[in-house]
Amino acid sequence: MIRALGMMSGTSLDGVDAALIDTDGIRIGAFGAHAFRAFSDNEQAALHDGLGRWPDDPAVPDVAALIEAAHADLAAGFADAQLIGFHGQTLAHDPRGRGTHQAGSGAALARATGRPVVWDFRSEDVRRGGEGAPLVPFFHWACAEWAAGQGTLQPGPVAFLNLGGVGNISWVDPTADAPEAPGACLAFDTGPANAPLNDLMRARRRQARDEGGALALSGRPDAAALAAFLSHPYFSRPAPKSLDRDSFAGLSDGVAGLSDADAAATLVAAAAGAVAAGLAWLPAPPARLLVCGGGRHNRAMMEALSRALPMPVAPVEAIGLNGDMLEAQAFGWLAVRVLRGLPISGPTTTAAPEPVCGGRISHPRRGGTTNVKGTVPPGLR
């Protein structure tokens, strides 16, 4: 087992999550300490300004430096980590066009922390024809297997719904031999989740989020805006499929004339409606839907999901997991898989034509960045 520190800064732009995990890249040995570093208002403003920018944009180096510094600051508190899995900050995602762009250099983070860093997880998948997202489904399979071993999850297919800036769902069967095995996983982005609501609160009330869903609970969804949203061709497109944070910019335009409360309620209903529309693409109905990510703290969102879906809905804490840290843990687990040359995505998760082991590894002392497939460096076996 390797003790890896996974680090994630998501599309909600609220801060950096960091979490330790002991793993061989297949099974979960143990979950460890975790921490969160919030972005300041100025940092959030800079990150918002960076959205949609590609590596050749002159503003990107400053955004990358901000991300590297924030991650190095947080990583300093995890001296026992042998390896760091660094996702970086997604600024743009266009897998059928320019590709995918996560700001932040793993080489810079390796130098700052003195530990090897696995990073750039998505580019190889996109290069081979995949969507480059979502990347957490294989980890969700490992979580389901772990929970079954703990006795907190009954055998059979289950679905994980991550509600970050964008929502993504993973249907997994933990009885399969491996996450890349046929029938083990199916995953895709469901649609917008927290991002439009956070942007609304930021623009109208200068608040980071609708805390607990209080504003949305006081409003009523607008039927016309919802109908227009759910008519988007994305929902009739077969899975796997992925989205950029701002793929549904028209949704924000659709609530522009509504009161704050009704706009918030409409955005919550849209997120839940997108998940309900996505159920049509699952191989079989899951026994339950387990929710992770910041959206599960939004009571309006959880109630909307319970109304819209035909199966029980519960936070992942119901099976002993930490829904705030699951994505960070995932990138620690994925980092070890990259070291071992194991797939981190495949045809049923990103639509890549074959299982893909992507990522780069930067070393703090001997320098350089390499692609390592099938070999665990000395000291990390």
| pLDDT single digits (tens) 132-179 | 988 999 999 999 999 999 999 988 899 999 998 899 999 999 999 999
The mean pLDDT value for 200-209 works out to 94
User: Is residue 371 predicted with pLDDT exceeding 70?
Assistant: no
**Mind listing the pLDDT tens digit for each residue in 8-64?**
998 778 899 999 999 999 999 999 999 999 999 999 999 999 999 999 999 999 999
SS3 298: coil
| pTM of this structure | 0.89
Domain boundaries, the chain: 2-134+325-370, 151-319
The dihedral sign for the CA sequence 16, 17, 19, 25: negative
**What mean pLDDT is predicted for residues 365-378?**
52
**What topology is assigned to 2-134+325-370 in CATH?**
Nucleotidyltransferase; domain 5 (3.30.420)
Question: Is residue 370 very low, low, confident or very high in pLDDT (cuts 50, 70, 90)?
Answer: low
Predicted local confidence at residue 165, as pLDDT? 87
Give 366's pLDDT tier (boundaries 50, 70, 90): low
Pure H helices in 206-344:
214-217, 223-230, 249-254, 260-278, 299-308, 326-340
The rounded percent of the chain whose pLDDT value lies above 90 is: 85
How much is the pLDDT for 374? 35
- Domains 2-134+325-370 and 151-319 agree in fold: yes
Measure the CA–CA gap between 74 and 41, rounded to whole angstroms. 18
Domain 151-319: CATH class, spelled out: alpha beta
